[in-house]
Amino acid sequence: MNTKLTLSLDHDIIEQAKEFAQSQHQSLSKLIEGYLRQVTKGREVGASLPPLVAKLSGVLDARTIDNHKREYADYLADKYR
């Protein structure tokens, strides 16, 4: 059920938010609703990761990250000798 809400915000912020919402092909109401949903979701019991982070979790193999860091450090050391 949708309920009407009145907010008092800086005029410039409202205009920027409208432009952003339009660029995302959303209404300003949906944009704000999504933001509030995401902000309040973090307070729910058991909510530990934002959806994007959860979606990307496991994409990289943690064991290879240290190896890549060492390789990059070696590359930089050679480059700046």
- Residue 37 belongs to domain spanning: 11-79
Q: How many domains does the chain have?
A: 1
62 alpha carbon, distance to own chain's centre? 21
46 alpha carbon, distance to own chain's centre? 19
Q: Tell me if 46 is assigned to some domain.
A: yes
Rounded alpha-carbon distances, angstroms, from residue 65 to 48, 49, 62, 74:
23, 21, 5, 14
Task: Report the predicted TM-score, pTM, of the whole model to 2 decimal places.
Answer: 0.49
The pLDDT value given to residue 81: 85
Q: What is the tens place of the pLDDT at every residue in 50-63?
A: 777 777 766 667 67
Q: What is the tens place of the pLDDT at every residue in 1-45?
A: 889 999 999 999 999 999 999 998 999 999 999 888 888 876 554
